[in-house]
Amino acid sequence: MLEFEKWLARVLLLNSALALGVCLGLLGEPLDDASRFIVFGAALLGFLSAVAGLKHHWLGLWGAGLYYFLQLVSYFPLAGGWQFAVKAGVNLGLVLRFSSGVLVLNMVALGLFVATAVNLAWRLRHARTPSSSGHTPPSK
C-alpha cells in the first residue's frame, strides 16, 4: 500500500504543477485576480500535500483529500450571480444541466478523492493494530 500512496502523491504533484501552470496563465485562458489566488492556493496545497505524501506523513493524505474535495463540484448559474469552480489540475467532468444553472462533477477528482480516502482509511486501520507483522518486541 506504500507504493500506492507514493503513486497518489506523484499524481497530486503533477496535478498541482498543472494548477500552477493554469494560475500563471501558461495553460488555458487567463484568470482574473480572485480566481488566480484561489487556484494558486489550491496548487500550493497540492504541492505541499504531495511532498508530505512522498515522505509518508499523514498530513499528505489529509491535504490531498482537501485538494480533491475542492474540485469535486463546480456550479455555474445561467442568469449570472454566485458561481463556484476550482479547476486546479486535470478535469474531466460530468455535466448536469438544470433550469437555474450547470453543475459539473469532476470525475477525475472524484476518483482520486476516493482513492485517497481509501488509502487514508487503510492507514488509520493499520495504525490502530499493535503489530501488523505478528512480531511483538521483547519486553525488558
Domain-by-domain residue ranges, the chain? 2-128
Does position 94 have pLDDT exceeding 60, yes or no? yes
pLDDT at position 139 is 57
Does position 134 have pLDDT exceeding 50, yes or no? no
pLDDT at position 133 is 47
Average pLDDT over residues 18-38: 83
For residues 31 and 114, the model is more confident at 114
What's the pTM value of the predicted model, to 2 decimals?
A: 0.80
Q: What is the rounded distance in angstroms from the CA atom of residue 11 to the CA atom of residue 112?
A: 9
